Amino acid sequence: MQYEEEEHVAYDGDGGIDQGHYDDGSEGGAAGGAAPGSSKRRKKRAYKKAPDAPRRGRSAYVLFSMEAREEVKNSLPEGSKVTEVMKGIAAKWRELSETDKEEWTAKAAQDKDRYEQELSVYDGPLKVPNKRAKKDPLAPKRAMSAFLHFSQSMRPRLRETYPEAKNMDMSKMLGQEWNRMSDEEKLPYQTKAHDDTLRYREAMTVWKDGGADALASHMAARGETDGAVGKYEEEGDEGGDRT
């Protein structure tokens, strides 16, 4: 079971263990079994652990990983990748004696008992739909990235050249062109993105403090008329580095 447990360890973006991965208990790691894009995986992504549901018991390896993570992370050079932390934890686990591993197995058994006891008195749902909250149509238009500003400028030209191209193909072409551009060529779009971020933050402050009427007055004073999400933002162009 050692290697199976190691394969199912998940980490957050900071190199830490993703607790939600284990709390849910249904998501597999590299050895999850379902092929990418399968209906089984899509169904799992559609739900998340209910906030009040008991946390599932953690395996011996996961409990060990949680304790060893900081020590391993601090022993590595600064800026080491998450995968290096994972490898370091796996190496430390393999170095444990059978007696030491039995201690972690006992802790896992206790955690399993805790889960089963909490589950026996819990009468709510274990999972809830994992739906993104809808954006308020009266909220300020979100800031666009540099890549989206580039896409907004270039998409009409590409559409004229390739009138039969599908949106997905257009997005791929835009992404490829963006990745070929130099930093100097990207600078105008990055400047627009920076200014757009400042505009969005200011508008959000006005909207939160005064509501839709205050936002409308603010936008009118700036010569703006559309407070909804921009067209190209909704389309979600596929690109490389979108900064």
Q: Answer yes or no: is pLDDT of 148 > 80.
A: yes
| Claim to verify: residue 150 and residue 87 sit in the same structural domain | no
Residue 141's pLDDT is 82
Categorize the per-residue pLDDT at 75 as very low, low, confident or very high, splitting at 50, 70 and 90: very high
CATH number of residue 228's parent domain: 1.10.30
* Domain-ending residue, one of 129, 163, 191: 129
| Claim to verify: residue 110 and residue 26 sit in the same structural domain | yes
Q: Answer yes or no: is pLDDT of 32 > 70.
A: no
Domain holding 45, by residue range, is: 2-129
| Claim to verify: residue 72 and residue 122 sit in the same structural domain | yes
In a domain, 140, yes or no: no
Residue 239's pLDDT is 44
Residue 162's pLDDT is 87
> Which of 19-33, 45-59, 125-139, 207-221 has the weakest average pLDDT?
19-33
Residue 107's pLDDT is 96
In a domain, 46, yes or no: yes
| High-pLDDT (> 90) share of the chain, % | 37
- Which residue shows structure tokens 């390896």? 61
Q: Answer yes or no: is pLDDT of 223 > 90.
A: no
In a domain, 13, yes or no: yes
| Claim to verify: residue 104 and residue 62 sit in the same structural domain | yes
Higher pLDDT, 240 or 68: 68
CATH number of residue 8's parent domain: 1.10.30.10
Where helices occur in 56-182 by DSSP H, the ranges are 60-75, 82-95, 98-120, 146-161, 167-180
In a domain, 243, yes or no: no
Q: Which of the 8 DSSP states describes residue 4?
A: H
User: How far is 9 from 22, CA to CA, in rounded Å?
Assistant: 8
Categorize the per-residue pLDDT at 70 as very low, low, confident or very high, splitting at 50, 70 and 90: very high
Length of the chain: 243
Mean residue pLDDT across the chain: 76
In a domain, 87, yes or no: yes
In a domain, 10, yes or no: yes
Residue 147's pLDDT is 92
| High-pLDDT (> 70) share of the chain, % | 72
| Claim to verify: residue 125 and residue 15 sit in the same structural domain | yes
User: How far is 141 from 233, CA to CA, in rounded Å?
Assistant: 10
Q: At 19, which helix (H) or strand (E)?
A: helix 19-24
User: How far is 224 from 168, CA to CA, in rounded Å?
Assistant: 30
* Structural domain total, the chain: 2
Q: Which of 224, 215, 173 is nearest to 195 (CA)?
A: 224
